[in-house]
Structure 1
Amino acid sequence: MPTGKGTDVLDVLIVGAGISGVGAAYHLRTRCPGKKVAVFEALDSFGGTWKVHTYPGIRSDSDLYTFGYRDKPWTGPPIATADEILAYMGEFIEENDLGPLIHYNHKITKAAWSSEDKLWTVTYETPDGAHTVQTRFMWMCQGYYDLDKGYTPDWDGMDDFKGEIVHPQNWPDDIDLSGKKVLVIGSGATAATLVPNIADQCEHVTLLQRSPTYFVPGRNVNELADELRRLEIDEDWIHTIIRKKVLVDQHEFTQRAKDESESVKDELLAGVQAFLGEDFDMSHFTPHYRPWQQRIAFVPDGDIFQGIASGKASIVTDHIDRFVPEGIRLTSGDVLEADVIITATGFNLKFLGNIPFEVDGKPVAWNDQLTWRGMMIEDVPNMLFVFGYFRASWTLRVDLLGDFMVRLLKHMDEVGAVEVCPKVPAGVQAKERLSWMNPDDFNPGYLKRGEHLMPKRADHPEWQHTQDYWHEKDDLPEIDLGGDVFEYSDAQGHTIDTHKADAA
């Protein structure tokens, strides 16, 4: 890689080679072939979360027709394993010759913008030491959580437990669960995945949850896609048709979750009860919040419910009083005995990988600044970041922002700009600065724990991340790149009036 000031400068540095970074590289490689692009990945291979997580049964909780890339058909089951997703990404990298762009074991430790040079100077570490590289633009694609360590609460008495405590994000290769009593703490997609995938190994597995989660059980097939394949329809057509249908179905379901929350709640619970029987205590699967205030995970073939119905697994809803030598004592006074305790209790949120950023020597305090549409930050030049959707597949926004990035870079070339920065209008500056997400709309634990890391939003559609794919898919392509929100300047630091440039 180029190092040092004044050497071979990059046009765009993409940070991260997970689903976002690989998608970003594709957009620039295929649509801006004249740009000098590099991808820095801290791990030793691509994949991000799909590489890091190795616990039994690790799978997507979004369908792959929308979680997959827009320009590469998905031909497998809607819910896919980590290995299937990694294979798909590997094919995408090879088919589009993205490999030469990706540099592994490159961990960024600092990014500093110079208004004089109109460049980012990025410090990074590799196995052979520290280096720097300069780039005109940074595209941050690391995802939104800490891949080094998962979240485990600090419960009383954890040191007293005589068995093994494991977090799924740091799954040991040599763990042996055979014949053991296993206790899984959690209620989300990870817990629901783990329980049925280890039940046959254990003497018994118990799922302990503080509060329930909504699930959607169903067959891991897409019948329309299979029928179209039976009719020998081209896979590109199938991908487009199924992708559109899934998106329409998701949009309608999301809207119903707001407008008809009680009906949707009844439908979700009925789907679970169909596996567990009429006599099962459904309080274990009845959350205190309305559907879609937190993620709803799809459970392929209802596998966790089948495990509970068969007796291989059980579920307990209670609060933890403390760990004891033989397991966990609950606030009810009951003790759950265990040889192994798995804390499927979530992850730690990060923003932009917790990389320190500076603009002209001043540290950037993300939590003090407004986000523009959840992809740029006020007064931070030449930086775009990917943050996907909570209620739709993350990758949908990767493709939308890929379209925007390509358009923005071409527009800057056309008007002679080397710097672009979103500026908050006076009317928005006067508004109250609010938390990143409205907690009444979406309030998972990881977001509440990490809110202090995230940028602020305003009560204005442009100065927040709407989380609404169905609006953004039409709105983002229509953004006026010559609008007043963008401040452009040339290499000499002169402001460019893009209205005049467009007219010319």
Structure 2
Amino acid sequence: MADSATMERASGTAAAPVDQDVLIVGAGISGIGMAVHLQAHSPDRSFALVERRADLGGTWDLFRYPGIRSDSDMHTLGFVFEPWKHEKSIADGPAILDYLNRIVDERHIRERIRFDRKVVGADWDSAAARWTVTMEDASGGTSTTTARWLYLGAGYYDYDSPFDANFTGRDDFQGQIVHPQFWPKDLDYTGKKVVVIGSGATAVTIVPAMTDPKNGPGAAHVTMLQRTPTWFAIRPAKDGLANFLRKILPEQLAYKITRFKNVKMQDIVFQKARTKPEKVRDFLTKQVQKTLGDRYDAEAFTPPYNPWEQRLCLVPDADFFEAIKRDKASVVTDHIERFDATGIQLKSGKHLDADIIVTATGLSLAVAGKIPVRVDGDIVDWSEHYYYKACMFSNVPNFSAVFGYLNASWTLRADIVAEYVCRVLNHMQATGTTVATPVLADPASLTEENIFDFSSGYIQRSLHIMPKNADKLPWRLNQNYLQDRVDMRTGAIEDGVLSFGNARAPAAEAEAPALEAAE
């Protein structure tokens, strides 16, 4: 007797031709990584990338505020296949763009990227076993392309609309208001009084950059206005071990050792924060106290939550604290009453004078790049679907996306997701199938769990639009890279959940043979 997979393939209809086997949406870290993994692991599959912007880089092309840099080390934010060669492991935006551009040029990926193409619709047709993707160019014209598999590397936040805190009196302010996501190229802050609202990675990057004498005269003074303090982790911008190993070992081996060391250290610190938070609190507090000395202010640097309940804020070479010690920066912990003509009135009664206000108040998350996705004409409501293997979604065929780790580098997830998708594609080729669907017949059988055990505002504001998370694999977006790496690289592709088949005949066509057989 033939097995069910063979019967399904035999009964399926022929898949319609496509423009490419895999269409990658986004030419940032996730998209570029997928392209390279396809070249290495699924070389027989054709692929193309579409990018809404005029250049590659994603986040690193969008954000142009002063000091833009990685918020994790580049030996883990870099790809598994391409060593990070710069001396600094906490790298600035231009260095990261150089890294990405070198990869796409050396591997001849640039010619596969269609720039200025915003995806405005993606439609799956089971009868044809393919996606039809609608794109809009810079002039507003539309075009379509087809693919067997759709891979979203579009990031996790809204490129068009950052979080708006709706500050009262905003229109009364007579100075300039800037959001880091839309930083003006010609903004002159020399000698100006600046207030940066926020206490996350963006704010802590902008403050020292606007006051660093190496960048020119800089602002007269920058005040970071925070509602809630953040946990800071101070570390050197250069990885001494990495730079030493590169001198004595082959580059790939040195990178592999450094990457392993940093992954383990990230995991140890995270696990320690969850099991013995008081020890991590003490360590981080002592770091800041030692750096600031008599400038240390417990109110400003003691968050009301434990480390890693929100993402730790990295401070390379203690630059943020050095700006405070030079009297070029300060931290105020208070709530905003309103903006007025000359600055910000605080609820405590204090007033912050400002020429420029920077609203580093956070991002707005977006699912699937805000692209309307339909399966056989039905719009996909992502909040009704479960994650599968941290990259696919229940009952959505031939579709994958990347949402990086919150407790580790984004690229760690991007790498293993790309490797896993290549394994699935290779399995489909070996079995003669064209459709792969994570089948969840009974969602009620799963126990739903908070998708992110983090209290960050941008996470909490977006839970209602996010896909569902179960309390056990494979139906979850896991936050354990070491476990995921083993599962994604070695776990069985045919696991009893991921179903493989071929193009499905429309219902009217499928009923006709059945009626003839009955007669």
Say whether the fold is shared (TM-score over 0.5): yes
Partner of 1:406: 422
Q: 2:189 aligns with which of 174, 177, 188?
A: 177
Partner of 2:256: 240
- 1:119 is aligned to 2:119: no
Supply the distance in 2 between the matched residues of 1:483 and 1:493 (Cα, whole angstroms).
26
| 3-state secondary structure, aligned to 1:284 | coil
Q: 1:465 aligns with which of 466, 477, 491?
A: 477
| 3-state secondary structure, aligned to 1:43 | coil
Give me the TM-score of the superposition, normalised by structure 2. Answer: 0.91
Deviation digits for residues 203-251 of structure 1 (CA, Å, limit 9, x no counterpart): 2111100001111112211111222234x32111110110011111111
More deviation, 146-155/115-124: 146-155
Partner of 2:371: 355
Partner of 1:36: 46
Q: 1:431 aligns with which of 439, 446, 454?
A: 446
**What's the CA shift for 1:466?**
1.2
| Structural mapping, 1:167-246, within 5 Å | 167-199=179-211, 200-230=217-247, 232-246=248-262
Deviation digits for residues 145-192 of structure 1 (CA, Å, limit 9, x no counterpart): 112232230011111111111001100112111121110101011111
Partner of 1:455: 467
- 1:45 is aligned to 2:55: yes
| 3-state secondary structure, aligned to 2:321 | helix
Partner of 2:175: 163
**What's the CA shift for 1:370?**
1.3
| 3-state secondary structure, aligned to 2:134 | strand
| 3-state secondary structure, aligned to 1:341 | strand
| Structural mapping, 1:323-362, within 5 Å | 323-362=339-378
| 3-state secondary structure, aligned to 1:139 | strand
Runs of 5+ consecutive residues of structure 1 not aligned to the other structure: 495-504
**What's the CA shift for 1:279?**
5.4
Whether contact under 8 Å (1:152, 1:167) holds in the other structure is no
Partner of 2:147: 135
Whether contact under 8 Å (1:216, 1:297) holds in the other structure is yes
- 1:78 is aligned to 2:78: no
Amino acid at match of 1:431: L
User: Percent same amino acid at aligned positions?
Assistant: 41
**What's the CA shift for 1:435?**
4.1
- 1:415 is aligned to 2:431: yes
Q: Sort the Cα spacing of 1:435 and 1:218 in 2 relative to 1 into closer, same or farther, 3 A.
A: closer
**What's the CA shift for 1:117?**
1.0
Supply the distance in 2 between the matched residues of 1:493 and 1:243 (Cα, whole angstroms).
48
Deviation digits for residues 413-467 of structure 1 (CA, Å, limit 9, x no counterpart): 11121111111254x5333444432xxx312111111212211112222111111
Q: 2:276 aligns with which of 238, 257, 260?
A: 260
Whether contact under 8 Å (2:18, 2:147) holds in the other structure is no
Deviation digits for residues 368-399 of structure 1 (CA, Å, limit 9, x no counterpart): 12111321111111101111101111101111
Q: 2:118 aligns with which of 89, 107, 111?
A: 107
Partner of 1:500: none
- 1:14 is aligned to 2:28: no
Whether contact under 8 Å (1:435, 1:455) holds in the other structure is no
**What's the CA shift for 1:113?**
0.7
- Paired residues, number: 485
Amino acid at match of 2:478: T
| 3-state secondary structure, aligned to 1:275 | helix
Q: Sort the Cα spacing of 1:492 and 1:147 in 2 relative to 1 into closer, same or farther, 3 A.
A: closer
| 3-state secondary structure, aligned to 1:387 | coil
Moved over 4 A (4+): 5-8
Amino acid at match of 2:282: D
Q: Sort the Cα spacing of 1:166 and 1:492 in 2 relative to 1 into closer, same or farther, 3 A.
A: closer
Supply the distance in 2 between the matched residues of 1:362 and 1:94 (Cα, whole angstroms).
39
